[in-house]
Chain A
Amino acid sequence: MLTISQYVRAESIQQAYELNQKRSNAVLGGMHWLKLQKRNVGTAIDLSDLGLDTIEETEDSFLIGAMVTLRQLELQRELNDISNNALSESVRQIVGVQFRNMATVGGSIFGRYGFSDVLTVFLALDAQVELYNRGVISLEEFSKLPYDRDLLLNLIVKKVNRKTVYLSQRNTKTDFPVLTCAVCKTDGKYRFVIGARPKRAVCFYDELGILENGITEASAAELGNYISSQVETGSNMRGSEEYRRILAGVLTKRALLQMKEM
């Protein structure tokens, strides 16, 4: 069971950061994951009043506040337009509308969970994270970092010409994914992301030049085999290591064939 001794609605980012330096304190996202834990939280830090709940469009990018909900992501037209609806596709199966009205982007990204649809899709979009202390770094770099007491403020997605496909395998609708797969093509360069392996999502590239002559049934299958041979997977109650490795190849191939039709 989760217990909380004190609740503070932070009045500034600085205050939230300072409070968060204490190990027993915790930042509140949508509170879904936190609530499932057996944990005694000293001070719960609520970022609700810091204006981090909006998606801001600038000339060259989208600035997504850490407190933006998954439902906001799902419904935001412009963001979905630049991602072939991959964002909407990545979150629409997460439990239900009520859940997605609460779960935050910041919670998903900062947690770097080994089941995260959100981490997978934003890695594919080559997003950056803006951290209070560390500043702006790529999400790919952030995804590999150990947990610390920094504060995630925004996610930045550049407006560039890209094609994106998002696929996931679930044992049943609304459940955690068994495997997630996102493929993104930006300026002729492909990026493949495999998540829910069940470790943190990872990026792969077409280092062998398999897709040099474009996507065909054969090259998509070969690329799928390549991802299968490269990805490190694990077993848990939802699926075995081997099943996940096969899925990674199959979903990559399907994503590529879907992209071919775009």
Chain B
Amino acid sequence: MQIKLWINNKAVIKEAEADLLLIDLLRNNGCYSVKRGCETGNCGLCTVFVDEKPVLSCSTLAARVNGKKVTTLEGLQREAEDFGTYIAEQGAEQCGFCNPGFIMNAIAMFREKQNPSDEEIKEYLAGNLCRCSGYEGQLRGIRAYLEYQQSKAAKAELAAQNISEVI
């Protein structure tokens, strides 16, 4: 069957077998950030956004995303780089295989929650497995990134206040 979808904001028309999985469609189209880690829907390495929601592309039929918008890490370069630096700075990045799926779900969390607690972070990212680490480095990286974002937002607010006082 023929399906039309948007991959990272680019319209694509593809011929898809009934059981073609989204992960394979994406990898066949050059989105190599999408990894196959477990084949059981457990590891979160294949996470992509479908209509802005994080889902597991290894358990999604390509046919089901007909008419929808799919975002992979390739489409979120700037955000991924911003946040990824914080993970790397903590030395949390080891083999790097789980990283794209982890960053995708972390970005989904940042969009959904402004100021998550450690418990909330752990719970939100529980579906992303990493077999190199004990997650401590990732958690430190997320905290540092959130602090940076908050201080940036606070500075922007302050600047806006000063401007309005001057005016």
Check if B71 is an interface residue, CB within 8 A of chain A. Answer: no
The answer for the CA separation of A46 and B41 in the assembled complex, in Å, is: 19
* Contact flag A102-B55 (CB < 8 Å), given A3-B19, A7-B1, A48-B64: yes
B56 beta carbon closer than 8 Å to chain A: yes
User: B41 is contacted by which of A92, A97, A99 (Cβ under 8 Å)?
Assistant: A99
Contact present for B53 and A101 (CB under 8 Å): yes
Known: A7-B18, A35-B41, A46-B64. A96 touches B59 (CB 8 A): no
Interchain CB contact (< 8 A) of B127 among A9, A35, A98: A98
Q: Does B40 contact A (CB under 8 A)?
A: yes
Q: Does B108 make an interface contact (CB < 8 A)?
A: yes
Closest-CB distance, B164 to chain A (whole angstroms): 36
What is the size category of the interface that chain A forms with chain B? 20 to 34
Q: How many residues of B contact A (CB 8 A)?
A: 28
Q: Check B18 against A4 for contact (C-beta < 8 Å).
A: yes
A36 at the interface (CB under 8 A from B): yes
Chain B 43-83 interface residues, beta-carbon cutoff 8 Å to A: 44, 47, 53-56, 58-61, 63-64, 66
- Asked, given contacts A30-B59, A31-B60, A48-B64, whether A96 binds B19 with beta carbons under 8 Å apart, the answer is no
Q: Which 8 A-B pairs have the closest CB atoms?
A: A96-B127, A4-B19, A7-B18, A4-B18, A7-B63, A98-B54, A32-B41, A98-B56
List 15 A-B pairs, Cβ < 8 Å.
Answer: A4-B19, A5-B18, A7-B1, A9-B66, A31-B60, A31-B61, A32-B59, A46-B61, A46-B64, A96-B105, A96-B128, A97-B127, A98-B44, A98-B47, A102-B60
Interface residues of A (CB under 8 A from B): 2-7, 9, 28, 30-32, 35-36, 41, 44, 46, 48, 92-93, 95-99, 101-102, 173-174
